[in-house]
């Protein structure tokens, strides 16, 4: 399974791409230079495959690579970063 995440700034979301097709998203807004992740979802046909975690990890990796500060307002992202501390350095209080 080929999995990637791409930023779609026109739609204010990161798109989870699985084998060439969109399978999920993480919506965001940028406020005062801070990226706020507001919502995430994985298509029901792809649930149960660990793709939510991959969406979170790849999105956060991308944001780190751009120097972004992040607020995980989405409940899934908030829980993810509370148990995976690899991104503590980019989280905004």
pLDDT in tens, the chain (93 residues): 899 999 999 999 999 999 999 999 999 999 999 999 999 999 999 999 999 999 999 999 999 999 999 999 999 999 999 999 999 999 998
Evaluate whether residue 91 is within a structural domain: no
CATH number for the domain spanning 74: value is 3.40.630.30
The pLDDT value recorded for residue 22 is 97
Q: Residue 41 CA to chain centroid, in angstroms?
A: 10
The predicted pLDDT at position 48 comes to 94
For residue 90, tell me if it sits in a domain. no
Residue 41: per-residue pLDDT: 97
Domain annotation covers residue 78: yes
The pLDDT score that the predictor gives to residue 93 is 80
The edge-to-edge listing of strands for the beta sheet with 13-18 is 3-8, 13-18, 21-31, 34-42, 69-72
> 92 in a domain, yes or no?
no
Q: How many domains does the chain have?
A: 1
Is 93 within the bounds of a domain?
A: no
In a domain, 80, yes or no: yes
In-domain check, residue 70? yes
49 φ/ψ angles, rounded to the nearest 5 degrees: -115, 10
> What count of residues does the chain have?
93
Q: Which residues contact 73 (CB under 8 A, 6 or more apart)?
A: 36, 37, 38
Range of the domain at 21: 3-85
Contact call for residues 92 and 39 (beta carbons, < 8 A): no
């Amino acid at each position: 399974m080929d999995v990637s995440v791409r930023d779609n700034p026109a739609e204010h979301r990161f798109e989870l791409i699985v084998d060439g097709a969109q399978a999920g998203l993480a919506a965001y807004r940028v406020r005062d230079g801070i990226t706020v992740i507001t919502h995430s979802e994985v298509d029901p046909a792809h649930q149960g495959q660990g793709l939510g975690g991959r969406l979170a990890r790849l999105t956060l990796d991308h944001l780190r690579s751009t120097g972004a500060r992040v607020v995980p307002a989405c409940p899934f992202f908030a829980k993810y970063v509370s148990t995976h501390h690899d991104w503590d350095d980019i989280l905004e209080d």
